[in-house]
Amino acid sequence: MSQQRLGKGLSALIGDDPLISKNQVLEIDVNDIDINENQPRKVFDDEKLKELAQSIETYGVVQPVIAAKQGGRYQIIAGERRYRAARIAGLKAVPVVVKEYSKRELMEVSLVENLQREDLNPIEEAQAMRMLMDEYSITQEALSQRIGKSRSAVANTLRLLSLPEDIQGMVISGDLSGGHARCLVALQSDDEKRRAANRIVSLGLSVRAAEAMIQKAGSRPAKQSKKAAAPEIQAAEGTLSSALGTRVQISGDLSKGKISVAYYSAEQLQSLFDFLLTAQEEKE
């Protein structure tokens, strides 16, 4: 399957399909449709599903579900939320556009299409990225091309999987945002990450405030005789720490100095190397 096709997301799946353009879709019994276990979205808001179900009771399923035929059954590629809401609404059948894919194509198309949506939480997005990389042995650079995201955005999202499971749960539940979670990656120990996460939630800190707190926690105590860093340098440290997903220290002044970037695993070192190499290639 070409990267060009995958890069177009859902429009590549249904945009030129005559069944869609002519509003000719199949009505498939809901009991003949299976959800896709590789679907990255795992959390469905019950209240929002009920709201959608009420809308479906009134207007029906306006946008058809996209599914692939698997033997005598149909597996969802896109539209699981609509499918779930339709069942809540009591529909016996739903409109479906049927696509033909091999098992491998089905998994890849489903993951890529869902990664291009904006309603996945950051952990679901990271898990889907990791699944694609592991299943097809592709690099972060190749993945970024497939899903239309920058190499640094992919790397920062994948780093969220290094967080303890309980903190990942806080992201899934919405107690922590993706920006907060990326700040926490910069801390070295899991206990530090948990304490910081709980403090962010209890104090209702913004991402910027969390960055400042974590930067302060990760810095070595300054000597009394040492002059405080300029505000511009402190702000730069916070911005770089967030962008790279690790602790960054700048020593010196606005005219000259040194930037130190911390890493805590071989994988993180490789990610930082790839990021800097890509930036250099783009500059050239």
The 3-state secondary structure of 154-188, one letter per residue = HHHHHHHHHCCHHHHHHHHHCCCCHHHHHHHHCCC
Active-site annotation, residues: 80
User: Alpha-carbon distance 278 to 141, whole Å?
Assistant: 9
Range scoring the smallest mean pLDDT among 7-11, 26-30, 93-97, 191-195: 7-11
- Residue 86: the pLDDT is 92
Provide the pLDDT confidence category of residue 125 given band limits of 50, 70 and 90.
Answer: confident
- Residue 114: the pLDDT is 65
| Residue 25 or 97, more confident | 97
| Phi, psi values for residue 66, rounded to 5° | -105, 130
Own/partner long-range contacts of 252-258 (Cβ < 8 Å, ≥24 apart):
254/230, 257/233
- Residue 98: the pLDDT is 86
In DSSP terms, 97 is beta-bridged to 66
Report the 3 state secondary structure along 89-129. CCCCEEEEEEECCCHHHHHHHHHHHHHCCCCCCHHHHHHHH
Last residue of a domain, one of 102, 137, 171: 102
- CATH number of 13's domain: 3.90.1530.30
- Residue 147: the pLDDT is 75
Q: Quick one: 156 and 271 in the same domain?
A: yes
Within-domain flag for 109: no
Provide the pLDDT confidence category of residue 166 given band limits of 50, 70 and 90.
Answer: very high
In DSSP terms, 250 is beta-bridged to 259
Q: Quick one: 155 and 279 in the same domain?
A: yes
The closest alpha carbon to 93, from 24, 33, 28, belongs to 28
Within-domain flag for 107: no
Provide the pLDDT confidence category of residue 198 given band limits of 50, 70 and 90.
Answer: very high
Q: Quick one: 271 and 159 in the same domain?
A: yes
- Residue 180: the pLDDT is 92
| Upper half-sphere CA count for residue 240 (Cβ side, 13 Å) | 17
Within-domain flag for 29: yes
Within-domain flag for 192: yes
Distance (Å) of CA 6 to CA 18, 105, 106, 221: 19, 10, 12, 49
Residue 156, token pair as written in the block: 């920062």
- Mean pLDDT score of the chain: 77
Domain with 197, as residue range(s), is 151-283
- Residue 46: the pLDDT is 80
Provide the pLDDT confidence category of residue 37 given band limits of 50, 70 and 90.
Answer: confident
| Residue 4 or 234, more confident | 234
Provide the pLDDT confidence category of residue 218 given band limits of 50, 70 and 90.
Answer: low
Within-domain flag for 127: no
- Residue 87: the pLDDT is 92
The closest alpha carbon to 200, from 220, 175, 178, 221, belongs to 175
Q: Quick one: 158 and 271 in the same domain?
A: yes
| Phi, psi values for residue 258, rounded to 5° | -140, 140
Q: How big, in percent rounded to 5, are the helix, strand and coil portions of the chain?
A: 55, 10, 30
- Residue 42: the pLDDT is 64
Percent of the chain with pLDDT over 90: 14
Looking at the structure of the chain, the number of domains it has is: 2
Which residues, at least 6 apart from 125, have a Cβ–Cβ distance to it below 8 Å?
A: 40, 115, 157
